[in-house]
Amino acid sequence: MATDIHLNHGDHIDHDLLDTESSGLLTQIDSPADLRLLDAQDLPRLASELRQFLIESVSRTGGHLSAGLGTVELTIALHYVFNTPEDRLVWDVGHQTYPHKILTGRRKAMSTLRQKGGLCGFTRREESEYDTFGVGHSSTSISAALGMAVAAAAKNENHDVVAVIGDGAMSAGMAFEALNSGGELDANLLVILNDNEMSISPNVGGLSNHLARIMSGRVYSSAREGSKNILSRLGPLWQFAKRSEEHMKGMIMPGTLFEELGFNYIGPIDGHDMNTLVKTLRNMKHLKGPRFLHVITKKGKGYPPAEDDPCTYHGVPSFDIETGNAKKKSGSSPDYSTIFGSWLCDMAENDSRLVGITPAMGEGSGMVTFSEKFPERYFDVGIAEQHAVTFAAGLAVDGLKPVVGIYSTFLQRAYDQLIHDVAIQNLPVIFAIDRAGLVGADGPTHAGAFDLSFLRCVPNMTIMAPADEDECRKMLTTAFKMDSPAAVRYPRGYGPGVEIEENFSSIEIGSSRTMLQGKQIAILAFGSMVMPAVEVGKAINATVVDMRFVKPLDEQIIQRLSESHDLIVTIEENVVQGGAGSAVNEYLSSIHSNCQILNLGLPDRFIEHGDTALLLADCGLDKAGIQKSILTVLPVPLAQSAESA
C-alpha cells in the first residue's frame, strides 16, 4: 500500500462520530426494525455517522473499505424500504457488506472483523438471519436471488427478493445467464446494479462502455416521458411511435439491453442521494416482475484517500486515519506476488511471445508493473475466469506463451475450461496460482485448499509447489519453457527469505531436493510445508525432502526412502483427500511397498477466517503439530528414539 497518501487540504475527520459509544443515531440502531422507526429526513445524518464509523472500524481491523464506503446510502435505503429479513436482500461478492453488518446488529462486534472467532468479512448465513446467502466470489447474487424468488412463488409467499450486484461482477457470464433466466421466468425479482465504474481494479470491457453510455441517455428518458402524453391521444400515430421508440432506444438509451432480457429498467439514479433512493425503491417495491434499478455510486465515498485511490483501499491492513498510511508489517524479502510480477517483466524482456492475463485483480497478483511496461501484452479481462482460460488457450494455439495470474479459488470457476480447452489439447498455458492454502482473514471462500486435488487428476498437467522465493522464480521459468500446461502454485504473503537468483534457471521436471538426511522417518514436504518440515526433521532426526513437483512425482526418491525408512510422512497445505499425499500413496501401492505412511494436510472441513499461523496450528500444520502427529503414529521404541534425537 502506498505510504504517501494524505488528506486533501481542508479535509478532516469528524472524530466525534467515530466513538462507538457516543450519542447519535447510529447507536440507536441495533436492527433494521430500529432503522425503520426513523424519519426519512434523518437518514442522511445516519449515513454520515455510519460512514465515519466504518472508516474508524476498518482503520483498526483492516479489511475491505472502498466498496463499503460506496454503498452506505444504498444499504440504509434498502433496509429502510424493505422489511428485512422477511424480504430477502442478496449481496454479491461481500466486499461492500460492512454497512449491512453494522445495521443488522453487529456494530459492536466489528472490532472482531476477520479475526479468529469474530465476524466474517463477507456475508455468512450462519452469522445472521439477515445474511441470506453466503458469498465471497462475484456474480452469484442474481442467480441466488432468482432461486429465492421462484421458491417464494412456489410456496405462495409474498416477500420481496433483492439482488445487489456491482458493475465489475456484471462482467461475468454467470450474471447474464441469471438475467436471461430471470426475465424468461417473469420472476418477482429486483436487481440493483451498483455502478461505481470499477470492479476491484478499474473496470474494463464492452459492458463498462455500455453502462457509461446509459449515463448519456437521460435526454432520451425525459423526451420519452414528455411525448407520451401527446402521442397517446393520437391513436394510430401512437402505435407507430411505440414501434419507432425501440429503434430510438437502441441508439439513444442503451438500457434496452436489460429490457430485452425481460427486465423493467429504471435509472440511472444517484446512489448517494438518500431521498431519491428511498422514493425510487418504494415505487419499485410496488411493481412486480423482473425489475432492474441502475444506481451510480463512488467507490471510497467520504474518505478522500479512498476516493483518490480506491484500488489501494479495496482491501487494506490497519491504517492511520489522518494520513491514510498503512500500518503494514515490514518484510525484508518480496512476497510471492511480487516475485511473480518481477519474473513476468524479466521474461517478457527476454521472450516476446509472453503475454500476461488477469481475470481478477492485477494489483493483487503483482502484475501492475508488467501492465505499465508491456501494456500491449497485458490483458485484464474483467471478472471472467472462464473466458480468461479459454482466451489463453486461443493465444497458445497460435504460438504465444500465455501466463494466467489467478487466485487458487478463482481457478475453480474455470475448471471446465482448464480441462476442455487447455489440457485436452495439451496447450502450453502457464497458470501462476496465487493464494494457495489458507489465506487467513478472507476465510474459506478464498482459501486455496483444493487445487492440488483438482489439478492432479487432469492429464497433461504439470504441478509445481515452491518452498521458497528462489524456487518460485525457477519454477515459473520451468513452466514457461515447457510445451504443455503447467501450474506453479504458491501461497499468499512472504516466503522464508531465500535469496533469489536473477536468471532464467529451470528445474528438472519431476525432481526433488533433499533438505536433511536422517534415519527411520522420511518427511516428503510440498510447497509452504517444507520449512516447517525442516524444523521438525532437525528435532527428530528425520530425512526431509522438498518434493517440488506434485505431478510428476519424483518416484525414484519415494521408492528409495520407502526401502530405507520405517515411516514416510507427507505434508501439504491442501486437503488430504486427493492431494499430493494421495499421489504418494498411489505410487507406493503400485510398487507394493509395506512402508508405513502418514498423510498430513488440511482437514475435511472448511477452515474459517483468522490469522493464518493460528489456523495452521489448529490444523496441526505448525512445527509442534507436525511433530506430535508423527510421534503419535510411531511404535513406542521408535517414538522414544525420535524424541531423544
Show which residues are catalytic.
Answer: 299, 385, 413
Query: DSSP letters of 549-578?
Result: EEES--HHHHHHHHHH-SEEEEEEEEESTT
CB-CB contact of 92 with 199 (8 Å): no
Phi/psi at 412 (5° precision): -55, -35
For 136-164, b/e burial (b = at least 16 CB within 10 A) is: bbbbbbbbbbbbbbbebeeeeeeebbbbb
Among 585, 592, 573, residue whose Cα is nearest residue 491: 573
The dihedral through the CA atoms of 37, 44, 310, 19 has a sign that is negative
- Give the 3-state secondary structure of residue 421: helix
User: What are 299's three cell numbers?
Assistant: 467507490
Q: In what order do the strands lie in the sheet with 430-436?
A: 378-380, 354-358, 401-407, 430-436, 486-491, 462-464, 549-551
User: What are 462's three cell numbers?
Assistant: 504439470
Among 582, 538, 589, 537, residue whose Cα is nearest residue 559: 589
CA distance linking residue 487 with residue 552, whole number of Å: 12
Q: Name the H helices within 62-118.
A: 66-70, 72-81, 98-101
Q: Rounded to 5 degrees, what angle do the CA atoms 508, 511, 516 make?
A: 130
Q: How far is CA 615 from the centre of its chain?
A: 19
CA distance linking residue 117 with residue 106, whole number of Å: 14
Residue 600 belongs to what H/E stretch?
A: strand 596-602
Neighbouring-strand partners of residue 598: 569
β-bridge pairing 567-575 and 521-525:
parallel
Among 505, 495, 218, 201, residue whose Cα is nearest residue 347: 505
